Amino acid sequence: MSFDVFLMHFDRGQRTGADRAAVARLFRELGANALDGEGVYEVPIDDLRASRRAGEQEQYCIQINADGVEGNEEFTGCAMFLRAFSPGVARVVYRIAEAGGLTIVSASDAPALLPPGVDPADLPDEAYFVRHRRVTSAEELYGALTDEYDQYCGWRDWALSQATGAIPPPAARPGPGAHSE
């Protein structure tokens, strides 16, 4: 299970090509690693560590599906299926959205989130996009999505408890700050 975040480019209400070159440059700056040649990248997160084996810590990475960011295809946005959320994750999401002029859409109750380069007049004329919010920094984005991520974690814990019959104790659930599963 994941907390899904989509970055989309719109012009006059339609999905259109974003600034591919700017996003590709940022991916290189962030140390993104292409995983399969099909538009899937791993981007390291500066404030999270991961354990693949007991006692071993390594840099945590998020996967970004960004088909079209390299090559000649149209790049209209990307998707992130997050299993952790922190200020570092918010910085990466915000920087990509800002570089590409991309609207931030999460699979939650949060409104569409617009970095400074996104014109609200370009959003689709759909009910979801009418209720949008401007975010001017990664810190604002983190604040806007933290409650949504916490709700996702609660739902995930409930779903897992139903599937396994085990109810995770509150202390085992992620709290404010760095969230991961």
Write down the pLDDT at residue 168. 54
What average pLDDT score do residues 120-145 get? 93
Please give the pLDDT value at position 21: 93
- pLDDT higher than 50, residue 177: no
Query: Cα separation of 150 and 174, whole Å?
Result: 8
pLDDT band, residue 8 (cuts 50/70/90): very high
What domains does the chain contain, in order, with CATH numbers?
Answer: 3-180 (3.30.1400)
Determine the Cα angle at 118 with ends 114 and 123, to 5°: 85
* Average confidence (pLDDT) over 14-42: 93
pLDDT band at 175 (very low <50, low <70, confident <90, very high): very low
pLDDT of 165? 67
Binning pLDDT at 50, 70 and 90, where does residue 178 land? very low
What is the structure's pLDDT at 41?
A: 95
118 — pLDDT class (breaks 50, 70, 90): very high
| pLDDT value of position 77 | 95
With 50 as the cut, is the pLDDT of residue 176 above it?
no
Cβ proximity of 33 and 42 under 8 Å = yes
Q: Which two tokens stand for residue 81?
A: 């299926």
Task: List the strands of the sheet with 103-106, edge to edge.
Answer: 33-34, 40-50, 58-65, 77-82, 3-8, 103-106, 112-114, 132-134
Decide which of 162 and 96 is more confident.
96
Average pLDDT taken over every residue of the chain: 86
In the chain, what percentage of residues exceed pLDDT 90? Answer: 57
Is pLDDT at 105 greater than 70 in this prediction? yes
* pTM recorded for the entire structure: 0.83
